[in-house]
Amino acid sequence: MDNKYIKPIENLSIGKIIEVDGSRIIAELDPTISDLSRVFAGENYPIGQFGSIIKVHFGRRSIYGLVSRLRMKADYQLEKGLPVASSDERIIEADLFGEGEWRRKGEDEFALDFERGVATYPLPQQTIYLTPKSELRFIYGDAKGAVIQLGEHVGSGGAPCYAELNELLGKHTAILGSTGAGKSGTVAAVIHSILERGQIANYERWHPQIIILDPHNEYGKAFPAHQRLSTDEGSLKLPYWLLDLEESLSLFIGKTEFAATSQSNIVKNALIAVREQAAEQLKLDKSQLTVDSPIPYILGDSNGLDHFGKKDGQLYTEGLIGAINQQRPNDANKKNHEDFSKVIRKIDSLLKDGRLKFMMESWDGAEDPLPIIVNQFLTRRTRVQIVDLSGVPNEVAGVASAAIARIVFQLKVWQTEAERQNSPILLVCEEAHRYVPNRGEAQYEAAQSAIRRIAKEGRKYGVGLLLVSQRPSEVEATVLSQCNSWIVLRITNDADREHVRSVLPDSMSGLTKMLSGLRRQEAIFVGQAATLPTRVMIRSLSDDQLPRSNDVNFDKGWQQQALTIEQITDVVTKWRYQTK
């Protein structure tokens, strides 16, 4: 064995270990170090950079650690309750993550066999060294197996950073970061890398199935060749009859009345009645159906109804509205009819809201449309389905998201094992704090239940989850903790950083200290999909591959001509009729 591979490089020594605490080591920097960098083989090596890798020699093996903290020794002594020295000594802290041993691979070729995990622990007074860049490529690993490239490891001299695809998608991933940190660009980079994998790996067939819940109409620009399901253009069809009981109650009763037991019972009984009627019409076995079964039914017509559910003196009995009327008491006391009339008025207001045409368009009573509705999300014509929810009212966005998530999950539940293996699905949940918020507001409850179930059980059925949020502290902790990989960009808010720290593995929580200082598109990548915890510069994309930026350029905008009265009139018309 050539000594150069196992002999310590003294020019890269930076200090000695003073404490070993499980997988964490604390070392005292060499007091003679005046500049926080060393030079070796013409390369500059900064000392103590967050996320950089240090090593400890142990015979032919080396133990590697990830730098998580650099501070004065006086702070460390105060924390430990020790007498404080008057010197200006410095402390470096690192988390051990793996071991490696040099082995001969050929006559003049050596390679480092690197393994995650630590079996041999260093001792106090052992020397720590910076890791040569020639060694880092063995640690970071080559593109082996089912991987996609996220970008490049920071400080590695351009070593590519790969993510293990099955771990990244099958066990769920969270992309978190403050506004302007590059979250949408990171999501686009991940999806473009997934789409490109088929060509890179020379697959004969490569057809990912990716569904993006897009609340701001950003991703159509990044994936123009793929399907965009929009409420404005009428391409998204998510009919009311597809909703289960919980979602129907949220839609037909609303947030403020969600807990009203009497109204809930009215809607539940009416749903059972109209679904049974429709099942007979479609020649389905109604004995096997439940109130949650996706059976199409008609809503009916509320025009001309009086407070007692009558039209032209006769009780109206068609559709859901008719089924509600048929539960009314047989008296003329207005108070006894109020709950029934409230529900019908809410249905009427939904029918008249132009923004909800994608959901409130009535069934024509003909053939079963369910297979066509499901196919719009799983079509093989394109590999990415972008569901544009930008035109959906906030109180309906949760219901719509819940329905889509539930459709995807239920389809996988009822598939055969072979079908699941052949058609896994990735659900991208942008602005996740809107749909799975930590606060339990009723308007989001349906979405919380659906996304939560995918987070807990999706991996068993072939549904992966990519959660994206700029406010991690407002995302439900139960859902966030189900993610096994994290791509965390710059986070400036203390509460958000603390929340991220609470869901990361204990050994990696120290990395959250560097989150506020990350550059745009720079991230901490940790979890099962990462070869090792690392700082990564996310891959660059061309302008036409990036999502639409909603940032307004004030300087440029104020150089343009003011709006004309004709333009204002056009805007007012769209505003008035709620159409774009």
Name 536's bridge partners.
Answer: 153, 523
**What are 236-288's pLDDT values in tens digits?**
888 999 998 888 988 888 755 545 678 889 999 999 999 999 888 888 888 88
- Can you tell me the distance from the alpha carbon of 420 to that of 460, in angstroms, rounded to the nearest whole number? 9
Q: In this structure, what token pair is assigned to residue 505?
A: 């593995």
Q: In this structure, what token pair is assigned to residue 460?
A: 């068993």
522 Cβ neighbours under 8 A, 6+ residues apart: 154, 182, 489, 490, 535, 536, 537, 538
**What are 315-371's pLDDT values in tens digits?**
999 999 999 999 999 888 888 888 899 999 999 999 888 888 888 888 776 778 888
Q: From 228, 158, 160, select the one nearest 200 (Cα to Cα).
A: 160
The CA radius of gyration of the chain, in Å to the nearest whole number, is 30
Q: From 278, 447, 286, 254, select the one nearest 362 (Cα to Cα).
A: 278
| Maximum alpha-carbon separation in the chain | 101
**What are 109-162's pLDDT values in tens digits?**
778 888 888 988 999 999 999 988 888 878 887 667 789 999 998 877 778 899
484 Cβ neighbours under 8 A, 6+ residues apart: 167, 171, 172, 173, 527, 528, 529
Report all structural domains of the chain as residue ranges with CATH numbers, in order of start: 3-140 (no CATH), 160-239+369-542+553-565 (3.40.50.300), 242-359 (no CATH)
Task: Classify 268 as helix, strand or coil.
Answer: helix
- At 141, the amino acid letter reads G
pLDDT the model gives residue 223: 92
460 close to 243: Cβ distance less than 8 angstroms: no
307 close to 316: Cβ distance less than 8 angstroms: no
Q: What is the pTM (predicted TM-score) of this model?
A: 0.85
- Can you tell me the distance from the alpha carbon of 522 to that of 533, in angstroms, rounded to the nearest whole number? 14
Name 130's bridge partners.
Answer: 54
- Can you tell me the distance from the alpha carbon of 87 to that of 77, in angstroms, rounded to the nearest whole number? 12
**What are 492-541's pLDDT values in tens digits?**
988 888 888 887 766 666 677 788 888 999 999 988 898 888 889 999 99
**What is each CA distance from 352 to 108, 143, 255, 422, 529, in whole angstroms?**
78, 55, 19, 42, 47
Give the pLDDT mean for 406-431: 91
Interhelix angle for 334-352 vs 245-252, to 10°?
A: 100
